[in-house]
Amino acid sequence: MRGRTYRYFTGKPLFPFGYGLSYTTFRIGQPVCKGRTLKVKVSNTGLREGTETVQVYIKRNADSDGPVKSLCDFQKVSLKAGESKEVTFTLQDNAFECWDPLTNTMRVMSGRYTLYVGNSSSAKASCQMQWRAGL
């Protein structure tokens, strides 16, 4: 699958996965990871009310052959012009499933993960999380 779909594509797409248009603008802050929880501040920086889809992508740091990143959660947040809200994600075990070549199955893998937060697969804001299977 190398080079195909947002999960493996390393080039610059014309429109990244999850990209959408709006009549206003949003700013997604720096995420904070703690345990199973990820929190991020979302602000409507435009002049109109609007709804943003905040997306969380995950990458297992030790998996050099795996996906560049995979969508693991998202939430829609509606904000008035100038309004900000903190959005909280509670990650489930299946967000940490990776292909295990030893067992030829998908399973929850322990290790260090990078979580990217944004409004498309081109999300750059990130935080690190250490995950242990069975937590």
Tens digit of pLDDT for each residue in 75-125? Answer: 999 999 999 999 999 999 888 888 888 899 988 888 999 999 999 989 899
Mean of the pLDDT values across residues 49-68? 92
Q: Domains (ranges, CATH) in the chain?
A: 5-131 (2.60.40.10)
* Cα–Cα distance measured from residue 135 to residue 127, given in angstroms and rounded to the nearest whole number: 19
Helix, strand, or coil (residue 94): helix
Q: Amino acid letter at 97?
A: E
